[in-house]
Amino acid sequence: MAGGTDPKSQFYGAGADMLSVFKGQTLPYAELLPEHKNLLRTEALREVYDCCNGVCLCLWFKDECEWTRVWASVLMLAPYLVCVQYILETSVYPREHEQLRALREATLQHPAALSSVPPEEGQFLSQFLKVLNAKKTIEVGVFTGYSLLTTALALPEDGKVTAIDFDKSAYEIGLPFIQKAGVEHKINYIESEALPFVDELSKEESEQGSYDFAFVDADKLNYGEYHERLLKLVRVGGVIAYDNTLWFGSVTPQDPDSTALKDPTRNFLVKFNAFLAGDPRVEITQVSIGDGVTLCRRIS
């Protein structure tokens, strides 16, 4: 299984081992995975699917601070991923802003490149923000800034996005592209632990009900805490979006022996999804794009 200190071996080690057990061969493109996020999301899994016919693939990736093991059901994901590749090539890449593309390509060099929202999700968020006429938004979890640049580009000239992350080093990779795109003035970057910052903000009367949109893409185990505070900050009719609510497909019912059941984030998200489904304060839609994004429109 994955081990050692080499990020690459941790990244794909378990998947490669499993496949070699089943097929006597290693994961296709394994050497390329960290640098080619979209191969991981598409061709690599498609090829794995073809050769192992639905064996569960175990991937390691660095989420926030921890190396995390994620089970992805190749059987379930492969047809979807083939469609994603089609969507990317047909509808997303040709229309992606040149600075978003450059930021995405620069991010591929980062060992945690998988943390970025994928470009098809970025395109979706961009259109959603425009349909919502969003002017004031908040983002939890910036990383190199793909979703942040997407947001800043979608906001009007006098729009503002408050973006919070406790690690500015990744943002510094994305900042030159944000500057070249001419939208830095729309960004209020806050280097901080996110929950205490959002908590303080939610107590300020002048901030309450003043946000059109919130995007939460960090600190998954605290999604419930953000929800209570963001419901104060987002106006009635505004939307809170939670990323990764499908957790690589692992939120679906699992075999009792499955390793997925030992993943606290997966288990938390299962409960959180059920909680949102019953929360009368919001109207929800869980969109199967990227790793799943749940949109909660505040209705009371």
Ligand X SMILES: C[S@@+](CC[C@H](N)C(=O)[O-])C[C@H]1O[C@@H](n2cnc3c(N)ncnc32)[C@H](O)[C@@H]1O
Q: Which of residues 47-66 bind ligand X (CB under 6 A)?
A: 64
CB within 8 A of 102, min separation 6: which ones?
Answer: 177, 180
Binding segment (CB under 6 A) for ligand X, from list 12-20, 130-138, 143-151, 250-258: 143-151
Cβ distance to ligand X smaller for residue 93 or 166: 166
Binding segment (CB under 6 A) for ligand X, from list 19-27, 32-40, 159-167, 205-213: 159-167
CA–CA separation, 209 and 13 (whole Å) = 47
Please report how close the Cβ of residue 190 comes to ligand X at its closest, in angstroms.
Answer: 9
Long-range contacts of residues 88-96, Cβ cutoff 8 Å, at least 24 apart: 88/38, 88/42, 88/119, 88/120, 91/120, 91/123, 92/119, 92/120, 92/123, 93/119, 95/123, 96/122, 96/123
Write the DSSP symbol of residue 171: H
Cβ distance to ligand X smaller for residue 176 or 209: 176
Asked if 200 touches ligand X (CB under 6 A), the answer is no
Asked if 170 touches ligand X (CB under 6 A), the answer is yes
What stretch of H or E contains 195?
A: helix 194-203
Cβ distance to ligand X smaller for residue 52 or 164: 164
Please report how close the Cβ of residue 123 comes to ligand X at its closest, in angstroms.
Answer: 13
Dump the DSSP string for 55-121.
-EEEEEEEETTEEEEEEEEHHHHHHHHHHHHHHIIIIIGGGS-HHHHHHHHHHTTSTTGGGSPPHHH
Cβ distance to ligand X smaller for residue 73 or 144: 144
Given candidates 166, 176, 208, 261, which one binds ligand X under the rule CB under 6 A? 166
Asked if 117 touches ligand X (CB under 6 A), the answer is yes
Asked if 144 touches ligand X (CB under 6 A), the answer is yes
- The residues of the shown chain that bind ligand X, judged by CB under 6 A, are 64, 115-117, 141-144, 146-147, 164-167, 170, 193-194, 217-219
